[in-house]
Amino acid sequence: MSDPYPAADANARPAKASGKSLIDRVLSLVRREPEDREGIKSFLEAAHERKLLDAEAYSMIKGALAVSERTVADIMVPRPRMDLLDVAQSLPQLLATIIETGHSRFPVYEDDRDNILGILLAKELLRCMLEPDLDIRALLRPAMFIPESKRLNVLLHDFQQGSIHQAIVIDEHGGISGLVTMEDVLEEIVGDIEDEFDEDDEESIFPEGENQWRLMASTQIDHFNEVFRTRLPDDDYDSVGGWLGGQLGRIPKRGDSATYGDLRLEVIRADARRALWLRARRLPPTRSAPADNAIA
């Protein structure tokens, strides 16, 4: 009669499936793959801390992830700060605006700022110098209109596909709410991009004439004080633009100004996040401001 409870064979091998399952579970704990976006961020952070990613690569990858989460409304230049050209203006008036703002592309409107006719490339105005009777309308390129809710990664793809560099943002009622450029989107990934209006980092203050200068808002306060022989306080701020924002109590915009001593500082270029360029003027003695700051 056979033994109903045979002894286990000492040479019998364990079931392969169960052993493999255990190994898989252990490996999954050691090499856990990210299951969501937060997991990806944690994975990248760990790689950065272990020096597997340098700071630049880490920042760019994080920026690329952020682009897919953000919308146009997050980075657009709002309507009040948009630099537009009026199609009815004369060539000298158009050139004055272009030189002052330093942009290479401008939305052009007629009668009302919501009535955008198209986009003008600043370099196209050179043709008007050779053909004075040329109608500005003939130089305009079609404008791209997008909603505030458009995702930045989708917008970047559209920019690339259409070789477009600028888009007009509209609100839910069809009105103009702002403007966004390809540079704005790319800066979310790679950080600030210098353009043709930017200068060498070695210098940030440039004479424009007698008692007038153009300076980068990022100019360090100690350098500003050295050049202008002033005592602009640097206790709370490192840059002149930061000081100006503190005086205003908000992000500076084009046209804002403040006076310190006998110097008047005016914002001549800004985006939605900060002042970019300032103009400093030395006031005549009869109009010299007191040591206290005056905001305009």
| pLDDT for the residue numbered 145 | 95
Q: In DSSP terms, which residues pair with 209 in a beta bridge?
A: 212
Residue 170 within any structural domain of the chain: yes
| pLDDT at residue 66 in the model | 73
| Domains identified in the chain, total number | 3
Which of 164, 190, 216 is the C-terminal boundary of a domain? Answer: 190
Reported as a pLDDT band with limits 50, 70 and 90, residue 118 is: very high
Range of the domain at 127: 73-190
| 6 located within any domain | no
Same structural domain, 183 and 78: yes
Any domain includes 199: no
The verdict on 88 and 64 lying in the same domain is no
- 195: which residues sit within 8 A by CB, 6+ positions away? 102, 104, 183
Burial environment of residue 76 by CB neighbours within 10 A (0 to 12, 13 to 18, 19 or more): buried
- Over the stretch 128-180, which tens digit does the pLDDT of each residue have? 777 777 888 888 999 999 999 999 989 988 998 888 999 999 988 888 999 99
Report the distance separating Cα 276 and Cα 294, nearest Å: 21
Q: Are residues 84 and 140 in the same domain?
A: yes
Q: Are the C-beta atoms of 260 and 293 separated by less than 8 Å?
A: yes
CATH number at residue 169: 3.10.580.10
In angstroms, the CA 105 to CA 118 distance is: 10
Degrees, nearest 5: CA angle 129-135-140:
100
Shared domain for 166 and 84, answered yes or no, is: yes
pLDDT one-digit tens code per residue, 178-227? 999 988 888 877 766 555 445 444 578 888 778 889 888 889 999 999 99
Please provide the distance, in angstroms rounded to a whole number, between the alpha carbons at the two ends of the chain: 109
Residues 147, 93: one domain? yes
pLDDT tens digits, 89-112: 888 888 888 877 778 899 999 988
Instruction: Verify that 120 and 166 share a domain, yes or no.
Output: yes
pLDDT at 83 over 50: yes
Mean pLDDT, the chain, as a whole number?
Answer: 78
Structural domain includes residue 151:
yes
Do residue 166 and residue 183 come from a single domain?
A: yes
Assess if residue 125 is contained within a domain.
Answer: yes
Residue 125 CA to chain centroid, in angstroms? Answer: 27
220 and 141 in a common domain:
no
Q: Which of 53-62, 152-161, 236-245 has the lowest mean pLDDT?
A: 53-62
